[in-house]
Amino acid sequence: MAPLAEIVGLTKTYAGGSVRALDSLTVSVEPGLIGLVGANGAGKSTLFRILLGLSQPDAGSVRVAGIDVGDDPIGVRSRLGFMPEHDCLPTDQSAADVVSMLGELAGLPPHDARQRASDILDLVGLDEARFRPIEGFSTGMRQRTKLAQALVADPHLVLLDEPTAGLDPAGRHEMLELVRRLGRFGISVLMATHLLDDVQSTCDQVVMIDGGRLVGAGRTDDLLESSGVLRVDVGGRGRRLVEVLGHTLGIDAAVLADGSVELPVADDSTLDAVVAAVADAGLPLHALSSRRATLDGLFLGEGPR
Amino acid sequence: MTAVPPSRTTGGAASAGAVYDRGYRPYDGTLGGRPAARRALYKASIRRAVGLRRSWRQKFFPWLLLAVASVPAIVWVGVAYITRNTPASAIEIITYREYLGVSTALLVFVGLAAPDVLCPDRRNRTLPLLFSRPLTGTDYVVAKVGAIASVVFLFSFLPQVVLYVGQMLVSDSARTYLSDNLDVLWQVPVGTAAFSLYFSSLACAISSLTTRRLIAAASLLILLLASSVFAAGLSESTGAPARSDGFEVEIDPETFGGDPNDGPVGGRIGSDGQVTSTDFYVVAEPSSAWGAANLLAVPLHVRDLIFLGEIREPYLAGVDGGGALALGVYSVVLFGSLGVLVWRYRWLES
């Protein structure tokens, strides 16, 4: 499959070269839902500005949706939608007017802009409120309006900068559900966030950056492959299980704080042997699961294995 | 690598039948790109300036001003109609040149509309949103200044059209009126354009420097009034009532209690500033090169150059090289303002 975005050797410095916002970043992503993870100041916003053709890199090249951003920095914006992190909406106009105006600015003919603005506002759940001035909107409604304006011109890729910032847990859940829906419609999304949970629950690809450098990239599933650690819950009798396993199978297991037991497994035959050992010892098998790596773990430098 | 993201053209999972999700339709048409973006911003700014799609309170003021700017033209056409068969009809109470001065009332509109169209974009941080569209900083400036200038042009040009068409219809022969007033056909549009562009650029430049509408409006007003007082003061202290050249004046005799049937009378003011050849005298305002510093009068000076080829507006009338000076100040203000604007909205950093 043709990559959605190809970033090669991207370097951007500020303040006369003393601040390196991006440092030889090379990464390629495919269409889909992509999480761009990094702490504040990791270079996410700089990368967005370069993708939008609003900032010129010191070195390297970027191709998005088939366009070399260096060659056509204005044209690339026709194919991208952008949702900034901060408040950015004109407050004294209605959501319908704002979104349709921004649709026209993206190049839609006026009639299509009005029609699509109304459709998209409906899609993000603002069907009733769209004729009210944005002044009276809650944070959640503003975030939805911001998302709607990014989608109105049917972009090839939508850039979302911290879309869940400032939302309460319910609002955050709804926003992520909306992003997942976009994925089902076949819209590609690049979502910058510092919340790994959001990416883990929403995105099928991950790009992790820190200090302007690539930390890791790939499909979320691949990165979160089984860590080779089995977790067994025998209802508070973990110590007994450790004894049994050490005695019969020669496996070095450990009891966790919650009373469950963790042990390394090589393959499925070990799994069967463990289940058999639990049954022989007359222990109740409450739960048996393989511990998965978390993005947090990956980000902090613990490998999947 | 089992999960293949749905392709855009098939409409995603919906077409596969697994999940039916209503609501999103891809756009199949073409996108207009940069010209469309510029046009859209221009249109949106005009709408905002004249209060379309806004509450009646925001509509009220622009339309009141249009009325104020048009009323004299309508009244004058009415007067001309009523007096059409009397000798008074020979007197032109208001000329097209003077009517452009009436349009200076639209400065109030510019002072309010320009900040309203520019300041909220910065205050609400809408600029990143606008510049994520196929639009450059220069496009933004062109669209915004163009919008304000277009509205001002229209509001000052329409009354002139009313005046012209009205006078033409009221006159004895429309054809004669037309052929007698051919010059007006280019002088009025050019003068109006110069006037609109000047105040729009200046007002936009000042508005680009602040996020507060009130501060922008007040700054514009203070700048114009201060420069006008400054220029008048310096002209009165350094200038002489003399005109450097022989200077024709034409005056309605009724002003001096004369018989209106005499028609306009004239006089000539010599290079010594003394009236040389008539039986009345004109008190000329003192003029000096400082008169060009009156930023409020600059478009009126340029207007005089367009209509008369020389400046008759107070404080710069008859000053040696006054025309060049006025054009110089006009250019400096216009291009300076546009420069400030382009600099303030330089979105693509190098």
Q: What is the pLDDT of residue A227?
A: 59
Number of CB pairs < 8 Å for A and B?
Answer: 154
- pLDDT reading at B1 higher than 50: no
Token pair, residue B186, equals 């280019």
Q: What is the pLDDT of residue B280?
A: 43
Residue A115 near chain B (CB below 8 Å): no
DSSP bridge partners of A232: A261, A288
Count of structural domains within chain A: 2
The answer to whether B218 touches B230, Cβ cutoff 8 Å, is no
Q: What percent of chain B has pLDDT over 70?
A: 77
Q: Which of A129-143, A264-278, B28-42 has the lowest mean pLDDT?
A: A264-278
B158 vs chain A: nearest CA distance in angstroms?
Answer: 27
Helices of type H across A82-219: 95-105, 110-123, 139-151, 169-185, 196-202
Mean pLDDT of chain A: 88
The answer to whether B319 touches B289, Cβ cutoff 8 Å, is yes
Q: What is the pLDDT of residue A14?
A: 87
Say if strands A19-29 and A67-68 run parallel, antiparallel, or are unpaired: unpaired
Residue A149 near chain B (CB below 8 Å): yes
Domain CATH for A289: 3.30.70.100
Between B182 and B282, name the one with better pLDDT: B182
Distance CA A11, CA A172 (A): 33
DSSP type of residue A73: T
DSSP bridge partners of A29: A5
For residue A305, being part of any structural domain is answered with no
Residue-range definition of the domain harbouring residue A266: 226-299
Shared domain check, A57 and A109: yes
pTM (2 decimals)? 0.82
State whether residue A22 is helix, strand or coil: strand
Q: What is the pLDDT of residue B320?
A: 82
Shared domain check, A201 and A135: yes
CA A108 to chain centroid = 29
Distance CA B345, CA B322 (A): 34
Distance CA B255, CA B275 (A): 18
For residue A266, being part of any structural domain is answered with yes
Domain CATH for A140: 3.40.50.300
Q: What is the ipTM for the molecules in this complex?
A: 0.80
Residue A127 near chain B (CB below 8 Å): no
Helix, strand, coil content of chain B in percent (nearest 5) = 65, 5, 35
CA B322 to chain centroid = 22
Distance CA B243, CA B272 (A): 7
For residue A304, being part of any structural domain is answered with no
A210 vs chain B: nearest CA distance in angstroms?
Answer: 24
Token pair, residue B37, equals 């973006």
- pLDDT reading at B5 higher than 70: no
Distance CA A227, CA A222 (A): 11
Among A189, A205, A222, the domain boundary falls at: A222
For residue A147, being part of any structural domain is answered with yes
Residue B10 near chain A (CB below 8 Å): yes
Token pair, residue A95, equals 């959501």
Mind listing the pLDDT tens digit for each residue in A149-164?
999 999 999 999 999 9
For residue A191, being part of any structural domain is answered with yes
Residues in chain A: 305
Mind listing the pLDDT tens digit for each residue in B95-110?
888 888 888 888 989 9
Shared domain check, A238 and A204: no
In chain B, positions 34-93, which contact chain A (CB-CB < 8 Å)?
34, 36-37, 40-41, 43-44, 53-54
Mind listing the pLDDT tens digit for each residue in B243-293?
444 455 555 555 555 555 554 455 555 555 555 555 443 445 677 888 889
Q: Which residues of A touch B32 (CB under 8 A)?
A: 107-109
Q: In what order do the strands lie in the sheet with A5-14?
A: A19-29, A5-14, A59-64, A67-68
Mind listing the pLDDT tens digit for each residue in A229-275?
788 888 878 888 888 888 888 888 888 887 788 887 777 777 788 88
Shared domain check, A18 and A157: yes
Between A193 and A274, name the one with better pLDDT: A193
Shared domain check, A233 and A179: no
DSSP bridge partners of B267: B249
For residue A181, being part of any structural domain is answered with yes
Q: If you compute the radius of gyration of chain B from its CA atoms, what whole number of angstroms results?
A: 27
The answer to whether B139 touches B127, Cβ cutoff 8 Å, is no
Which of A276, A256, A89, A81 minimizes the C-alpha distance to A185?
A81
Q: What is the pLDDT of residue A305?
A: 34
Q: How many CA atoms lie within 13 A of A52 on its CB side?
A: 31
Shared domain check, A291 and A210: no
Shared domain check, A142 and A287: no
The answer to whether B69 touches B159, Cβ cutoff 8 Å, is yes
Shared domain check, A179 and A48: yes
A82 vs chain B: nearest CA distance in angstroms?
Answer: 6
Shared domain check, A214 and A233: no
Q: What is the pLDDT of residue B17?
A: 43
Token pair, residue B222, equals 């203070």
The answer to whether B12 contacts A186, with C-beta atoms less than 8 Å apart, is yes
Q: How many CB atoms lie within 10 A of CB B77?
A: 19
pLDDT band at B133 (very low <50, low <70, confident <90, very high): very high
Mind listing the pLDDT tens digit for each residue in B68-102?
888 888 888 888 888 877 766 556 667 888 888 88
Residue A262 near chain B (CB below 8 Å): no
Q: How many CB atoms lie within 10 A of CB A2?
A: 9
State whether residue A31 is helix, strand or coil: coil
Among A188, A207, A222, the domain boundary falls at: A222
Q: What percent of chain A has pLDDT over 90?
A: 55
Interface with chain B: mutation pick from A12, A33, A50, A105, highest number of B CBs within 10 Å: A105
Distance linking the first and last C-alpha atoms of chain A: 29
- pLDDT reading at A95 higher than 90: yes
Q: How many CA atoms lie within 13 A of A5 on its CB side?
A: 30
For residue A189, being part of any structural domain is answered with yes
Shared domain check, A25 and A162: yes
Shared domain check, A215 and A167: yes
Q: What is the pLDDT of residue A143?
A: 96
Say if strands A188-193 and A157-161 run parallel, antiparallel, or are unpaired: parallel
Among A169, A199, A222, the domain boundary falls at: A222
The answer to whether A29 touches A4, Cβ cutoff 8 Å, is yes
In chain A, positions 216-235, which contact chain B (CB-CB < 8 Å)?
219, 221-222
Shared domain check, A239 and A261: yes
For residue A64, being part of any structural domain is answered with yes
Which of B135, B109, B107 minimizes the C-alpha distance to B42?
B135
